[in-house]
Structures are given as structure tokens and as C-alpha cells.
Amino acid sequence: MAHALHRATLTLHTPLGTPLAGDTLFGQLCWALREAQGEAVLTRQLEGYTEGQPWLVVSDGFPASHLPKPTLPQHLEPQADATKRKEAKKRRWIPTAETGQPLQALLASAVDDATAYGKAPLRDVQPHNTLNRLTGTTGEGEFAPYTMPQTFYAQGQRIDVYLVLDDERVSADEIQHLLAAIGAGGFGRDASIGLGKFSVEQFEPVSFAASAKANAFWSLAPCLPQGQGFDGKQSYWRVLTRFGRHGNAHALAGNPFKTPILMAATGAVFVPEGVYGPRQFIGQGLGGGGTLSKAEPATVHQGYAPVLSIAMEPTQS
């Protein structure tokens, strides 16, 4: 199989109710494929998915021309006095032009939300009402007013998503059309009331500079690294528990919830136990046979992540 890395640049038109997480977007792309070409086509694409043969691997959405800062302990960060450490924690984005730099230079290039986005996103809550059709008013219980979180971006905010395609099974044009369909209908929660709208500004192959001393992988989405031959003592990650739920028609079913999954969060750094070799993605596919969902036994979850190369420097003893 020939896997190729592409970058989709999205232009946001409305707030998001659901973060642009790679595994969530992958699931919605699967639904979009099913609706566009039928269940048989999706079933065929998912053949081998849990055996290390993904047809598609999707990253989180990042501010255009930026990547998530690698998850590393403080002693590997550029030295800063105690008064500046809190400020340094806010610098969580790496400009794409800095990939391939030595570790200290890479980390020193990190910028904050305001710089990466142009204007920092605003996370707030939006009031909602559910009307009782008998009385025409709100009330108590299921008819009580409530709030839901939303993320508001600057008008026309540009977001980059990275996708690894098996180009023997799916073309870049097909994925671009599926993304455009999702953007027109809305991504994630509350799409039916206008959230999650975007357009695809650009879709193109992309590559990143890699250091000649690269010896580790830098993940661009939540992933499942268990049993993949990584050195746990030399790797760094944050734990993420994914409490998944179905979208589309299954979201209205009696039990839309999936089995919880323990993952490594985006930005993890994994050092292989053996010889390092460049790869487009790491991780594994999970599910099938009712292991993740009783409502839809064929359900799978993206435990793969696109990766970049990073040069980890020896730690001081």
C-alpha cells in the first residue's frame, strides 16, 4: 500500500460545538462515505482496518501553518525562570516552518493561541430552549432552559487538517468532496442548528522537513500506541479517555454511547524500541464484532494518528 500525506485547509463559517478531533472527524467521514456511495463501499474500505491497513488516517484541526507542541516534561523545555513558566505553558503551537529543527530550537519556536490563530478562540456557553408543544413555553425537566459549550473563532478562521490516504483505495478528490459535504451540513454536535459549517479552501500533498537525527514520532491525533513497539520509558504522552457516542442516525437510537477508550492525546512523542524508520502514521484500529457498540456491531474507532519525525536529544542523567 502507498500512503501519502495531504493537508486540507478549511475555512470556518460558524462556531464549533464539537472540537475538530481526528478520530471524531474520521467517524464523520465514514458516515459521509456511506451516505454518498452506500454501505457496501464503506464496508469494503474498512477491510483490514483493525489489522494495520487503514484506508484513511485523520489529524486534529490546527490553526493554519501550525502544529501541536510536543508533549514533553519541563526539564526538556528551554530554560525559563519561574515567573515565565506559566506564560510558556500557553505557547502550545509550533510553526510548520520549524519542523526539522533540533529539539530545543523547535520548542523555543512555540507560540500562543493569539499568535497562531490571529485572534484567540473564545470558549463560551450558548443558551438553548426546548419548547413544550402543548403549552408553547419552556418549563421544568426536559423543557428547562439549558446551556451548551461552543468555541467561537474569528470570521473566516483557517484550520489545517492532515490526512494520510491509501491512494490505492481512495483518491484525494474523493476525500476533498467528503470533507466539503461535511462542511456544508455541519460537523459535530448541533450541526442541525447551524454549528460546524466550513468550506475546503485547499487540499494538497504535503511533506515536512525532518532532522537527519530524527529518532521518534510526533503524533497529530489521539492514538492507541499499545503493543506497537515503543519504549515506554523514553516516550511521553498525556492520557485521554474517549467517551464516544454515535452520530448520524444512531445518535437518535436508544443507546448512542460507545465503549470508553483509553488513548494517548495529540502531541505525544514515541520512541521505538528498535531501529527508527520514517512512517506516515502509527497506532491501530479498534472495534468490529460488537466490541465498541451494541447498536452498530461493525463500529470501529480511529486509533491511528498521522506523525511527523522529531529528534529527541539524550536526557541528562
Are 69 and 93 spatial neighbours (Cβ–Cβ below 8 Å)?
yes
Task: Write the Ramachandran bin of 231: left for phi over 0, alpha for psi from -120 to 50, otherwise beta.
Answer: beta
pLDDT in tens, 301-311: 999 999 999 99
What pLDDT is attached to residue 192?
A: 85
pLDDT at 172 over 80: yes
Read off the pLDDT of residues 209-246 as tens digits, 9 standing for 90 and up.
Answer: 998 899 999 999 999 999 999 999 999 999 999 876 65
The CB-side HSE value for 13 (13 A sphere, CA atoms) comes to 14
The residue ranges of DSSP E strands in the chain, in sequence order, are 3-12, 56-63, 66-68, 93-95, 122-128, 146-152, 158-166, 198-205, 216-219, 239-242, 261-264, 269-270, 281-287, 300-310
User: Which cell is 111 given?
Assistant: 507560540
User: What does the pLDDT look like over 256-282, one tens digit per residue?
Assistant: 677 888 999 999 999 999 899 999 999
Q: List the grid coordinates of 166.
A: 491509501
Residues 165-182, mean pLDDT to the nearest whole number = 96
Q: How much is the pLDDT for 150? A: 83
Mean pLDDT of the chain, nearest integer = 88
Structure confidence at residue 34 (pLDDT): 94
One-letter amino acid at 285 equals G
Please give the pLDDT value at position 279: 94
Sorting pLDDT into bands at 50, 70 and 90, what band is 317? very low
Integer Cα distance of 232 and 226 in angstroms: 10
Give the pLDDT score at 291: 74
**pLDDT, average across residues 12-24:** 94
Q: Which residues contact 19 (CB under 8 A, 6 or more apart)?
A: 60, 61, 151, 188
Q: Given pLDDT bands bounded at 50, 70 and 90, which one contains residue 193? A: confident
Lowest pLDDT segment from 26-35, 169-178, 232-241, 285-294: 285-294
pLDDT at 129: 65
Cell of 212: 537527519
> At residue 146, does pLDDT exceed 60?
no
Q: Name the pTM for this structure.
A: 0.89
Distance in Å from the first CA to the final CA of the chain: 42
Q: Which among 260, 264, 258 has a CA at the least distance from the CA of 224? A: 264
Is the predicted pLDDT of residue 124 greater than 80, yes or no? Answer: no
- Cα maximum dimension of the chain: 71
Three-state DSSP class for residue 251: helix
Please report the sign of the dihedral spanned by the C-alpha atoms of residue 265, residue 219, residue 281, residue 31.
positive
**Cell numbers for 238:** 498525556
